[in-house]
Amino acid sequence: MSKKLWFYLGFFVLLLGVFYLAIFWGTDLWRKKLPVMNEVKEFAFVNQLGDTVTNQQVTGKVQVVEFFFTTCTGICPKMNTNMKDIVKNFAEEEDFIVLSHTVDPDKDSVARLKHYADSMKIDPAKWMLLTGTKEKLYEAARKSYLLDDQKNGLDPIADQFIHTQLFALVDKSGRVRGIYDGLDKKELAKLNDDISLILKERYDGPRFVNGIFQNNPN
């Protein structure tokens, strides 16, 4: 094959590469992707300020989600110390928030959550402590965030108690993209990396299909 033909062949390959780069640049198609594990169902809970928070209000933000209770003296203080570091790492990210749900709503009133938040110097704009009915909170933990085994919901709700050290990572479209051990340093490091990753993902906003709000833009 002549040098001239090699030159034209190389030039064609270069043009083809530039063409595909022009097409995919500015999209998420070239980036590493985390799997989609589940979609968060609609919810309405109350935060430490007494304000109702819905899934629609946090859509568009990357969320780290946990379940805890304020009187816990075991894993919860360690989890929330680690969560505080995560919040600090992304304090300047407008599209990032933490949602901490109580698993003991009978004791964890709005006032108690506010006291707990104040004791930890939590910024409610970056970290919401949420309460609601036990049924809805536990349903969210199991069916939305996959942080507890579905089989644990077979007992009467009064006999159930979720106590998990797992964190869920939710993208801007309300999809669970990862589950992490909130007490494991390696998993926490991966969580930080994955937050950075999905913060860079393009988000075109929620869709409305036949007048109905849709959380998934795909």
- What's the CA gap between 175 and 163, in Å, rounded? 23
Q: Is 101 annotated as a binding residue?
A: no
Q: Is 72 annotated as a binding residue?
A: yes
Contact (Cβ atoms closer than 8 angstroms) between residue 101 and residue 127: no
3-state secondary structure 96-158: EEEEEEECCCCCCCHHHHHHHHHHCCCCCCCEEEEECCHHHHHHHHHHHCCCCCHHHHCCCHH
Left (φ > 0), alpha (ψ -120 to 50) or beta: where does 65 sit? beta
Residues in the chain: 218
Q: Is 172 annotated as a binding residue?
A: no
Q: Which residues are annotated as a binding site for Cu cation?
A: 72, 76, 163
Q: Which residues are annotated as a binding site?
A: 72, 76, 163
